[in-house]
Chain A
Amino acid sequence: MLTPRALGEEKKMTQVRYRWVILLVVLILSAYVVPYYLIGHIARVYASFLYWTVFALLAMITIIRISAGWRD
Chain B
Amino acid sequence: MASGYVYLAMAVYVIIGFGMAYLARKGLSAGMSDYFLAGRTVGSVVSALTYSATTYSAFMMVGLAGFTYAGGVGALGFELVYLSGLSLAVFFGPRFWLVGKKFGYISPVELLGDRYDSKVLGIVAAVACCIFLIPYSAVQLMGVGYLMAGLSDGAIPFMVGVFIATALAVTWAWTAGMRSVALTDSFQALVMFISAVVVLLVVVYKGLGGFSGLFHALETSYSEWLRVPGPGFFNLKAFIGLTLPWFFFCISNPQVSQRLFIPRSLVTMKRMITGFLVFGFIYTLVSVLWGFSARVLFPGLAKADMATPTLLGSGVVPPLLALVVMVGITAAAVSTIDSILLTLSSMVARDIYRGMKPGVSEERELLIGKFVVPVIAVLSLLFASRQMGLIATLSVASSAGLVVMVPAIFGAFFWKRGTAAGAITSIMAGGIVAFFLQFSGIKPLGHWPGVWSLATSLVLFFVISLLTRPPQKKAEVFLGYLHEATKKHGII
A residues bordering B, Cβ < 8 Å? 9, 13, 16-17, 20, 24, 27-28, 31-32, 35-36, 39-45, 47-49, 52-53, 55-57, 59-60, 62-64, 66-72
Contacts and interface: CB of A to CB of B under 8 A. Distances in A.
B87 A24 contact: yes
Nearest to A9: B487
A41 B229 CA distance: 8
Given A53-B80, A63-B277, A69-B492, A40 B227 contact: yes
Interface stretch (B30-38, B189-197, B261-269): B261-269
B83 A32 contact: no
Interface in B471-492: 487, 489-492
B236 interface: yes
Contacts of A48: 73, 76-77, 226-228
17 contacts: A9-B487, A31-B84, A35-B73, A35-B77, A35-B228, A36-B239, A40-B228, A48-B77, A48-B227, A49-B226, A56-B284, A59-B83, A60-B277, A66-B87, A70-B269, A70-B489, A72-B265
B270 A31 contact: no
Given A32-B240, A63-B89, 13 more contacts: A16-B492, A24-B87, A41-B227, A44-B226, A45-B215, A45-B219, A48-B228, A56-B281, A59-B87, A62-B87, A63-B86, A67-B274, A69-B492
Contacts of B84: 27-28, 31, 55-56, 59
A62 B227 CA distance: 27
B159 interface: no
Nearest to A21: B91
Interface centre among A63, A68, A70 (most CB of B within 10 A): A70
A72 B101 CA distance: 13
Given A31-B84, A36-B236, A43-B219, A72 B228 contact: no
B83 A56 contact: yes
A49 B288 CA distance: 10
A44 B236 contact: no
A60 to B, nearest CB: 5
Contacts of A66: 87, 90, 492
A42 B227 CA distance: 6
B87 A36 contact: no
A19 B73 CA distance: 31
Nearest to B264: A72
Interface centre among A17, A60, A62 (most CB of B within 10 A): A60
Contacts of A70: 94, 266-267, 269-270, 489-491
Q: How large is the interface on B (under 10, 10 to 19, 20 to 34, 35 or more residues)?
A: 35 or more
A13 B487 contact: yes
Contacts of B236: 32, 36
Contacts of A63: 86-87, 89-90, 273, 277
Given A67-B90, A69-B490, A43 B226 contact: yes
Contacts of B267: 70-72
Contacts of B226: 42-45, 47-49
A43 B76 contact: no
B416 to A, nearest CB: 15
Given A40-B229, A43-B219, A64-B277, A71 B489 contact: yes
A46 B270 CA distance: 32
A41 B490 CA distance: 44
Contact of B77 (A31, A45, A68, A69): A31
A43 B77 contact: no
A54 B355 CA distance: 47
B80 A55 contact: yes
A41 B224 CA distance: 9
A2 to B, nearest CB: 11
B238 to A, nearest CB: 11
B285 interface: yes
B218 interface: yes
